């Protein structure tokens, strides 16, 4: 029982929320600054939806870190975080399905990809932040498309060659593609949030029982 109380206590500490925001921001910036801008991997519609989901986790982390002991802020942050993680899992699963269909040559499986995104709540993020949220690539295409006039540095050339067959955590073995890696990330976020939130609810219910 003490372990549940320790886990629940984490939700009252800024470090948990700040850590979530930092990790989500790092993943978001890695996708944009390194893979999109530096390695010329063009984001597709489902890719920018995944970025939106990651952005929800950043917002949740910032909101929770403001005053984590405040029940209202903690509840809002938890709801936003769970929403972002669940949506991210859904978008990653769909993109992985499209990716596998593309590899297998199944034209009927390559659906759900547009250059005009429709974000949740009708947010025009592609108009507000086009460099980040405007799709410029096709779903399932996760390899570098280097412009003909681009002059690549040594490391840049090495990495674009490394990912020429697509992004994989271990390219030589084609182990864990980008969609599956994001699915793992969102799943880990969701599991961590759920465990902490359930523990906190259990502890709060016990406190109320003792006070009555």
CB 114 within 8 A of CB 135: yes
Report CA-CA distances (Å) from 188 to 14, 24, 163, 176, 203: 19, 12, 25, 15, 23
- The answer to whether residues 139 and 98 touch, using CB atoms and an 8 Å cutoff, is yes
Per annotation, catalytic residue among 13, 14, 42, 44: 44
Catalytic residue among 51, 56, 185, 196: 51
Does the active-site annotation cover 139?
yes
Q: Is 56 a catalytic residue?
A: no
Neighbouring residues of 161: CB distance < 8 A, sequence distance ≥ 6: none
47 as an active site residue: the answer is: yes
The reply to whether 196 belongs to the active site is no
Using DSSP bridges, classify how beta strands 175-177 and 168-170 pair: parallel, antiparallel or unpaired: antiparallel
Quote the radius of gyration of the chain (alpha carbons, Å): 20
Question: What's the start-to-end Cα distance of the chain, in Å?
Answer: 20
Q: Which of 14, 42, 56, 139 is catalytic?
A: 139
Q: Which two tokens stand for residue 151?
A: 């002059």
Select which of 13, 14, 42, 113 is catalytic: 113
44 counts as catalytic? yes
In DSSP terms, 8 is beta-bridged to none
Token pair for residue 132? 């980040």
Cite the active site residues.
44, 47, 51, 113, 139
């Amino acid at each position: 029982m003490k372990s549940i109380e320790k886990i629940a206590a984490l939700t009252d500490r800024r470090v948990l929320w700040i850590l979530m925001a930092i990790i989500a921001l790092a993943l978001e910036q890695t996708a944009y600054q390194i893979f999109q801008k530096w390695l010329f991997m063009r984001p597709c519609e489902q890719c920018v939806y995944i970025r939106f989901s990651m952005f929800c986790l950043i917002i949740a982390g910032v909101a929770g870190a403001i005053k984590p002991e405040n029940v209202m802020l903690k509840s809002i942050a938890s709801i936003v975080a769970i929403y972002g993680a669940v949506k991210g899992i859904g978008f990653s699963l769909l993109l992985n399905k499209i990716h596998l269909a593309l590899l297998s040559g199944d034209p009927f499986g390559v659906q759900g990809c547009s250059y005009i995104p429709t974000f949740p709540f009708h947010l025009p993020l592609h108009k507000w932040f086009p460099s980040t949220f405007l799709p410029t690539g096709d779903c399932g295409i996760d390899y570098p498309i280097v412009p003909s006039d681009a002059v690549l540095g040594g490391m840049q050339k090495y990495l674009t060659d490394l990912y020429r067959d697509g992004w994989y955590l271990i390219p030589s073995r084609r182990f864990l593609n980008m969609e599956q890696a994001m699915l793992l990330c969102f799943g880990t976020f969701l599991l961590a949030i759920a465990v902490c939130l359930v523990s906190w609810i259990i502890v709060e219910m016990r406190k109320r029982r003792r006070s009555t």
